[in-house]
Amino acid sequence: MRTRPGTWLSIPLAVALVASACGGSSDDTDAAPAATAAPATTAAPATTAAPATTAAPATDGAASDEATATTAAPATTTTNAPATTTQAPDSKAESTATTTLAPEEAPPEPVRGGTLRYGLEAESDGLNPTVNRFATATTQIAHAVFDSLAIWDEVNHRAVPWLAESFTPSDDLMTWDVRLRPGISFHDGTPLTSEAVMLGFQRQMADPLISLAIKPMYPADDPDTEGYEPAEIVDDLTVRFNLARPTADFARYVTGQLGYVASPTWIRAAMEDPSLNQEPVGTGPFRFDSRTQDQMTRLVRNDDWWNGEVYLDAVEFYVYTDTVMAADALVVGDLDGMHTSNVDATFVLRDAPDVVRIESDHGSESFGMMNTAQKPFDDIRARKALTYAAARQDYLDFIGQGLLRPANSWFPPGSPYHDPDLVQEADMPEKATPLVAELCAEKPDYCTDGRIDMELQYSGPSVVQDRIYDILSEGWSDHFNVSKDMLLQDDHITQVAFGLWNFVTWRQMGSPDPDNDVTWLNCGAVSGLALNWPRFCDPERDELMYAARASTDPAERIDLWKQVSRKVRDDYTYLLFTHTLWSNAFGSNVRNVCGAVSPDGIRLMCTVNGWHLMHQIWLED
C-alpha cells in the first residue's frame, strides 16, 4: 500500500495524529477519490491581542542538559535568495539530497503585502486538531493558524518553547509544568489560558484513535476521584502534565498536532456543530478566511499576532493531488510555492532555472510492513524469506529513479542515531529457498504448490501503486504466491488499522527526535485498533525506548536507539526501501523562507517533513 499524506483515513472516528506520521509513497501521483466538498465559509473577525511578552529560558532541569548537548547534522543548509541554486549532483541518490541557496550580499528590506499561492499535495477532512487528521499538507495550514507549544530548533534539532514560555520538569522527570506566554488572545478574542490547553488535551484523550497514541504516556484517569490524573491546571497560565514514565524532554511531544492550542470557545462550538471544524480559530499569524474543501483554503494576516509582524496579506492553499501539475504551475507562475515528495515533480523543479528549492531526506522513510498477527507472517521464517527475496534494487531503480537514497534504518547518514553497520537485507532469493521449503513442509496450510501464500494490499486506482506491486510481486514469485488486493483509500486504511492485511507499503517515522516515533513501536499500541501496525510486541525493545526517553545523556540515548534499530532489523517486520525526499519550492520573488526564529532568538528548522513556517515570508515586488 502507498497512501498519500492528507487523504489518510475515513474510519468513522478521528485520526488526526495518525496521519501526521503515516502516509504513503513519495511517488504516488494518483489521488484517492475526493471527499464531498464543503462550502466556503468565513470566520468571525479577529480581535485585538495583547502584545508579545519576553520569554523565559528554553527548558529547565535535566532535559535542558540533554537538549543542549544533542546535536544532529542539519537536514538542509539554506540561505534564502532569489532563483540562484546549487543543484544536487546530477540528481543522483548518492548525493546528500540537500540544496544550498546562494547567500545574498545584503538582506533586502521586507515588503509588506501580497498573497502567497501555495500548492498542497493533499487535503484533510477538517482543520480541528482535536478531531481531524493532520498529515503534512494539513500541518502546513495548521502552523499558520495555530501556534504549537514548542517548535524545532534548526541547530540542535531539539524542541524549544514557542507558544509556551517554559517547560519545567520535576526532579524525578515524572511531571512537567508548561507555562504559557501571557497576554495572548485567540482570533475570536478568547484569552489564551491554561483552560484552553487542558480542554484540547482532554478532547484528544477522549478521541478513539488519537488517544491510542498519547494514553500510554500518561496515568489512567480514575473515574472515582475528583481530579484528572493525566494533567491538572496549576494557575491561569500553567498546566502540569503527569507522566507514566520518567521523560527527559516533554517539549518534543508538543511541536505539532498534540501541541496546537485552539480556542476553547471554538472547540465547544464545533462539538455542537461539526461543520465548524472547517473554520479553525487559533492564536497563529494568520486567521481563517474561507475554505472550499478539496480545492482551496484562504487565510488572512493576523495583525495582532503576539510574536511580531506578519508580512503577507494572505495565503491561499490550493490542493494538487498530482504534484507534477503543481510543479508545472509553479514554473509558469500560477503558484508561488509548493511542497512535494513526488520524484517526478522533484525532477520538474530541478529542471526549472527560476525556482528556489529546499530539499531534505532527513524525515520519513518508505518501507514495507508485515502483519505478524496473521499467517503467514506470524512465522518469522516467512518474514525472513520475504525480506531475502525482495527485489529492492529494482524498487530503487524504477521507483526511486536514482533520486532517492536507499534506507538501511530510519536514520539517514548525518543523523546522530545513524548506524553505518546496519544494512537492509534483500535481493538474496537463494537464502529464502530453504526457509520456504521448511515452512511449507511444517505448515502446509500456509502454502500452495511449494510457495507461501500472501496478499499485497494497496490503495488505488494508481499507476505508481500498480508499478510497485509488479516490481515486488515479480521478485517474490519463485517463493510466494502474491495476490493483489486493491482497495479505495478509505477501505484500505480501515483494514490496515484493524489488522486485516498481510503486507503493505508505508511512509512513516522521521521525527527530529526518535522518541516521537515510540507511538508506532510500543507494545501498548497493539490492540484491536492498532497504531503498532505490524502488531509486533517486543518488551525488550520497549525497555530500550523507555530507557532512552528517561535519559539525559545524549551518548546513552544514541546507543539505546541504535540498539532499537538492530532489534527492528532482527524482528523482520519492516522492509526498508528509501529515505523520503521532500522538496519545498518557491518562485524567485519569495523571500525569507528559512528566516524564522523563536521569541527567544533561536533559529528554527526551515522545513520539517515537508512543512515550514510562513509568518516570516514576504514577496518581493
Q: How does DSSP assign 533-549, residue by residue? A: TT----HHHHHHHHHHH
**Cα 607 to Cα 307, 360, 410, 516, 614, distances in angstroms:** 19, 8, 18, 17, 11
Cα separation, 272 vs 277, whole angstroms: 10
CATH superfamily of 365-579: Dipeptide-binding Protein; Domain 3 (3.10.105.10)
Q: Which residues pair with 233 in a beta bridge?
A: 239
**Cα 214 to Cα 158, 291, 380, 519, distances in angstroms:** 20, 30, 30, 8
Please compute the mean of the pLDDT values over residues 106-130 and round it to a whole number. Answer: 90
Q: Judge contact between 510 and 582, C-beta under 8 A.
A: no
**Cα 145 to Cα 298, 299, 466, distances in angstroms:** 11, 8, 37
**Is the pLDDT assigned to residue 468 strictly greater than 80?**
yes
Q: Which residues pair with 453 in a beta bridge?
A: 481
Please compute the mean of the pLDDT values over residues 212-224 and round it to a whole number. Answer: 88
Cα separation, 73 vs 146, whole angstroms: 28
Grid cell, residue 74, equals: 542539519
Cα separation, 503 vs 11, whole angstroms: 20
Please compute the mean of the pLDDT values over residues 385-404 and round it to a whole number. Answer: 96
The pLDDT of residue 125 is: 85
pLDDT digits (tens, 9 = 90+) for 36-55: 333 333 333 333 333 333 33
- Mean pLDDT is lowest, of 119-128, 240-249, 392-401, 490-499, for 490-499
pLDDT digits (tens, 9 = 90+) for 326-347: 999 999 999 999 999 999 999 9
Cα separation, 82 vs 354, whole angstroms: 8
Q: Judge contact between 261 and 154, C-beta under 8 A.
A: no
Question: Where do the domains of the chain lie?
Answer: 34-361+582-619, 365-579
Higher-pLDDT residue of 399, 14? 399
**H/E stretch holding 269:** helix 264-272
The pLDDT of residue 490 is: 65
CATH topology of domain 34-361+582-619: D-Maltodextrin-Binding Protein; domain 2 (3.40.190)
Residue-level length of the chain? 621
Residue 51: phi, psi to the nearest 5?
-65, 160
Residue 272: phi, psi to the nearest 5?
-85, -35
Task: Specify the pairing of strand 231-235 against strand 590-591.
Answer: unpaired
Cα separation, 586 vs 616, whole angstroms: 14
Mean pLDDT over all residues of the chain?
84
DSSP 8-state class, residue 494: H
The pLDDT of residue 234 is: 97
Please compute the mean of the pLDDT values over residues 88-114 and round it to a whole number. Answer: 56
The pLDDT of residue 25 is: 43
Q: How does DSSP assign 287-320, residue by residue? A: EEEEEETTTEEEEEE-TT-TTS----SEEEEEE-
Percent pLDDT > 70 in the chain is 82
**Is the pLDDT assigned to residue 213 strictly greater than 70?**
yes
Report residue 100's pLDDT band, with 50, 70 and 90 as the boundaries: very low
The pLDDT of residue 124 is: 84
Cβ neighbours, 10 Å, residue 621: 7
**Is the pLDDT assigned to residue 324 strictly greater than 70?**
yes
Grid cell, residue 10, equals: 475515513
Task: Specify the pairing of strand 314-319 against strand 115-120.
Answer: parallel
- Mean pLDDT is lowest, of 4-8, 162-166, 272-276, for 4-8
The pLDDT of residue 259 is: 96
Task: Specify the pairing of strand 480-487 against strand 451-459.
Answer: parallel
Q: Which residues contact 296 (CB under 8 A, 6 or more apart)?
A: 316, 317, 318, 319
The pLDDT of residue 327 is: 97
Q: Judge contact between 507 and 22, C-beta under 8 A.
A: yes
**Is the pLDDT assigned to residue 21 strictly greater than 70?**
no
Grid cell, residue 369, equals: 510492513
The pLDDT of residue 494 is: 78
Cα separation, 3 vs 503, whole angstroms: 14
CA-CA-CA-CA dihedral for 335, 337, 341, 346, to nearest 10: 70
